[in-house]
Structure 1
């Protein structure tokens, strides 16, 4: 009964906020009266509040531009988690653009849609991301290409790291900062999730988005850690595959550290 009440209240809260914020975002996009990311960050925070997700941040987003943020990927909730922290744009699978409501909301964030299965288009897709980077937008790349179960990371795909190569080509940018970021869901109601229960946060395979959101809300307060690492500087002549390996190693180390010693278990300085 309590879970049902929680679900209803969360839906009402997020729904009403969305009805107010979407028109404001459309005005911002058409007129430029205020930065588009102001409304976006507010909406992401509303979603997190509705889901009952608390975010703990270690480190900070790099101030340098161009900036490519590379993170592991566990759930669709990773998007509001990062979107609530800093001004970013996302790189998402092309089929998301056709999803009811989700596609519309993603477009309001000026998401870059990619088709990972069509390798012939990878150059064009990397080129669009490179253009956004050169224009000063911080782009988020979930380099695994899909979601994991929250206990382990999948190997990074290096293809879209080519955006960094394109950004520095022909002097468009002297260098690109590639920042490793680890996301780890660590606690439920203040208690460590552990290997058995971490998949509660994950969104894997063909699981329905609505049912996953419902289950998350019903489960109650969940904690997620976001750890920002030191950027890897990518310059002309650098190898994208090598850069991808270095970034993956750093994300893995940060991810393992967050699971091993989550926020709240570390002694206060």
Structure 2
């Protein structure tokens, strides 16, 4: 249980100055402008191409508006790949999608928010019931179909956001979608590195999502993020879903420890 001093400190750190609210208002206006621009573009392109450019453009614009300053290092991401990334913030999604055009696997809690579900559907998001073990087989089938349809798909195998300083255990159930029978699809671990001030943006603990979003939108300083594309898994690293989870986590952890 948090002490009174810890709760007071949390409230103090989350207090937003008046100028911060001005910045929030400006950014929300810009984000709405991105929606108004990209949604018609999406429907305009829909009859002509399966690789609709509008969602990727929209998420790149979102990353820019919220202050992300992106760099990439390592192996060039394949256009068709399965990315396994650590999870720190909702910022991870526009960052990865803006760079790779990837779709995502997300928990079904997001599906209950109508406008957000609508936008996610445009980027071919796969919604899963995180705590419903009875539907794992159906979820694996969904993931396989999405990978076939979209080409690039990202899973956050920790299953939730961490503080960015260490990895949580990787869950392997959905990785059945990419075990031995789909070896032709590259499986590429990804480390999202927000630098030494990662805790300023990490969404952890009991912090409400809206509070975290407001905190990010009120920031005047840019948010540096380096996306490290690590070498794809090969051979014995892809024996089965547990081997995939173990190898991907080990790859990401190794580069985190070097930093």
1:134–1:45: structure 2 CA closer, same or farther, 3 Å change rule? closer
Query: Is it true that 1:179 corresponds to 2:188 in the alignment?
Result: yes
Which residue is 2:210 aligned to?
210
Alignment of 1:101-180 (within 5 A): 101-135=115-149, 137-165=151-179, 168-169=180-181, 173-180=182-189
Q: Kindly indicate whether the alpha-carbon contact (under 8 Å) linking 1:90 and 1:140 is maintained by their aligned counterparts in 2.
A: yes
Q: What's the CA shift for 1:209?
A: 2.8
Q: Kindly indicate whether the alpha-carbon contact (under 8 Å) linking 1:72 and 1:182 is maintained by their aligned counterparts in 2.
A: yes
Distance 2:58 2:124 in 1: 15
Q: Kindly indicate whether the alpha-carbon contact (under 8 Å) linking 1:156 and 1:248 is maintained by their aligned counterparts in 2.
A: yes
Which residue is 1:71 aligned to?
85
TM-score of the two chains, using structure 2 as the length reference: 0.85
Cα deviation digits, residues 132-186 of structure 1 (max 9, x gap): 3344611101000000012221010011110113xx53xxx45332100001211
Distance 2:20 2:213 in 1: 12
Distance 1:114 1:141 in 2: 11
- Please report the RMSD computed on the Cα atoms of aligned residues, expressed in angstroms: 2.2
1:160–1:33: structure 2 CA closer, same or farther, 3 Å change rule? closer
Which residue is 2:11 aligned to?
none
Which residue is 1:252 aligned to?
253
Cα deviation digits, residues 224-262 of structure 1 (max 9, x gap): 111000001369x822211210111001123334xx3xx
Structure 1 residues not aligned, in runs of 5+: 187-191, 261-269
Structure 2 residues not aligned, in runs of 5+: 1-17
Query: Is it true that 1:6 corresponds to 2:23 in the alignment?
Result: yes
1:233–1:32: structure 2 CA closer, same or farther, 3 Å change rule? farther
TM-score of the two chains, using structure 1 as the length reference: 0.82
Which residue is 1:47 aligned to?
62
Distance 1:25 1:101 in 2: 15
Q: Kindly indicate whether the alpha-carbon contact (under 8 Å) linking 1:70 and 1:179 is maintained by their aligned counterparts in 2.
A: yes
Distance 1:239 1:226 in 2: 26
Which residue is 1:24 aligned to?
41
Cα deviation digits, residues 109-154 of structure 1 (max 9, x gap): 1101111211121111112212233446111010000000122210
Which residue is 2:199 aligned to?
199
Three-state SS of the structure 2 residue aligned to 1:143 is coil
Three-state SS of the structure 1 residue aligned to 2:90 is coil
1:70–1:32: structure 2 CA closer, same or farther, 3 Å change rule? same
Q: What's the CA shift for 1:104?
A: 1.5
Count of residues paired in the alignment? 241
Is the deviation greater in 128-137 or in 98-107? 128-137
